[in-house]
Copies of this chain bind each other. A is one copy, B any other.
Amino acid sequence: MPLSPDQQSEIDEARAKPRETLRCVAPGLEAALYTAHPVLDHGFVRVIDYMGDDSAICQAARVSYGRGTKSVSNDEGLIRYLMRHWHSTPFEMCEIKLHVKLPIFVARQWIRHRTANVNEYSARYSILDREFYIPAPEHLAAQSDINRQGRGTTLEGETAARVLEILKADSARAYDNYLTMISDEGQQGLARELARMNLPANIYTQWYWKTDLHNLFHFLRLRADAHAQYEIRAYADVIGQIVAQWVPIAWRAFSDYRLGGAQLSAPELAVLRRMLKGESVSEEGSGLSAREWREFHALFD
């Protein structure tokens, strides 16, 4: 369980005090504000605060287009139009702040999304908890034979057992030694900022992470994608469900145009036009490289 009783009672307390506001309110987020959505074995995502909802996107767009947007009959049509034509600034008018607990190797991928605000737990100041990510058996995958950055089949039997044993034993030993080095019983304790270097990348850290909806969609497009590493995808999937509660119309537009959509190149469009006229196009005659041809067919077969 990712939360201690103390943390849970803090959450209960925070949820017990509704206050009055004149701001716009997103009921879907209020329902679970502060609550921990579990991810992986010890991780979580919690919504701490938010600004705006679907109507805030439309409000900002209507400032831009002035009386021009009166002709768009409803919010859903307007939001889909904005999404389709990459008009990203109205989506930036919504903001969300999450509290996330995650393994360091996931944090290292995550932090590459630069347009966000972050406060991470500092192991220079404080002592990390003894919590390590150990993959569930069904996620213990072999290196893919065909994709250098992908996973293949699931490891089984003795191989799987050996890997789990290594991950657990090395984590435990590294953490014991971390405590040994910083201990000041009978010795001077090593500086925390140095001792932490002994800890492996599957130890959990936590941070506050705040971003706007446009950049969050960009994060989700890359990290909820099938090519993303499973462990960060697990977070992206949970955040996706949160976004669906927060801005349901924008989420549907994003799902249709980005998550479920595809970018086609000019040569691919040319091939499609020929095929739609009934022509049978071969790889040789397509103008596409072998790899492009393969990816093109994966989309339509």
Interface residues of A (CB under 8 A from B): 14-15, 17-25, 30, 33-34, 48-52, 56, 59-61, 63-68, 71, 77, 80-81, 84-86, 89-90, 92-93, 95, 97, 99, 103-105, 108, 111-112, 114-115, 117-122, 124-127, 133, 135, 140-144, 148-153, 155, 159, 162-163, 166-167, 170-171, 173-174, 177, 180-182, 184, 187-194, 196-202, 206-208, 210, 212, 222, 227, 229, 255-257, 259-269, 272-273, 275-276, 289, 291-292, 295, 299-300
Residues of B with C-beta under 8 A to A18:
20-22
Chain B residues with Cβ under 8 A from A262's Cβ?
263-264, 269
Q: Are A140 and B194 in contact (CB under 8 A)?
A: yes
* Copies of this chain, whole number: 4
Q: Is the CB of B188 within 8 A of A155?
A: yes
- Asked whether A269 lies within 8 Å of B260 as measured between CB atoms, the reply is yes
11 A-B residue pairs with CB within 8 Å: A18-B22, A19-B23, A21-B30, A64-B122, A65-B125, A66-B121, A93-B97, A104-B201, A114-B115, A261-B263, A269-B300
Q: Given A95-B51, A117-B89, do A189 and B125 touch, yes or no (CB 8 Å)?
A: no
Output the nearest chain B residue to A114 by Cβ-Cβ distance: B114
Q: Is the CB of A142 within 8 A of B191?
A: yes
Contact of A63 among B173, B208, B292 (CB under 8 A): B208
Contact between A23 and B21, CB atoms less than 8 A apart:
yes
Report how far A141 CA is from B193 CA in the complex, Å. 10
SS class of chain A's interface: helix, strand, loop or mixed?
mixed
Partner of A206, one of B19, B21, B63, B257: B63
A19-B20, A61-B119, A276-B276 given as contacts; is B229 within 8 A of A192 (CB)? no
Check A149–B68 contact: CB distance below 8 A. Answer: yes
Most buried by B among A144, A263, A269: A263
Given B181, B194, B207, B257, which contacts A263 in the complex, CB threshold below 8 Å?
A: B257
A124 pairs with B191, CB closer than 8 A: no
Are A170 and B198 also in contact (CB < 8 A) when A51-B50, A148-B125, A188-B155 are? yes
